[in-house]
Amino acid sequence: MENVIALAVLAVLVGGAVAYLIRAKRSGVKCVGCPAGGSCSGGKGKKKKLSGPVIGKKTLSISGMHCAGCAQSVTDSLNGIDGVSARVDLDKGRAVVSMDRRIEDAVLIRAVEKEGFRVESVRA
């Protein structure tokens, strides 16, 4: 009897998930479950210009980005830091950050995590 109940609960959960995915895709959602709510702009923002010469670059490996909206939110957050210009590559799951001053890794990590993603590593 317990197996039948467990099987029924599992069937209801799976059925609900499948129905949700079908409804989301039919309504035009590109990325189900992403922080952008599936309404990715897909557009690219302007490249931020630094006020001084580039004195360093860092590469952040980022997990959890699923769509262009995810990448854009990370780009915007990193570019919001004074002295930082970032390019985010969704396919490679990384951000290349150019800096015109010394920026601590913790500042960059906080900017990414604020958007709901995880920094796996930071390389100079």
Cross-strand bridge partners of residue 121: 61
Residue 44's pLDDT band (cuts 50, 70, 90): low
pTM: 0.66
For residue range 54-73, list pLDDT tens digits in order. 999 999 999 999 888 889 99
pLDDT(39) > 60: no
Mean pLDDT of the chain: 86
Buried b / exposed e over 40-66, threshold 16 CB at 10 Å, is beeeeeeebeeeeeeeeebebebebbb
> With contact defined as beta carbons under 8 Å apart, do 74 and 88 qualify?
yes
pLDDT(12) > 90: yes
pLDDT(2) > 60: yes
Mean pLDDT of 8-13: 92
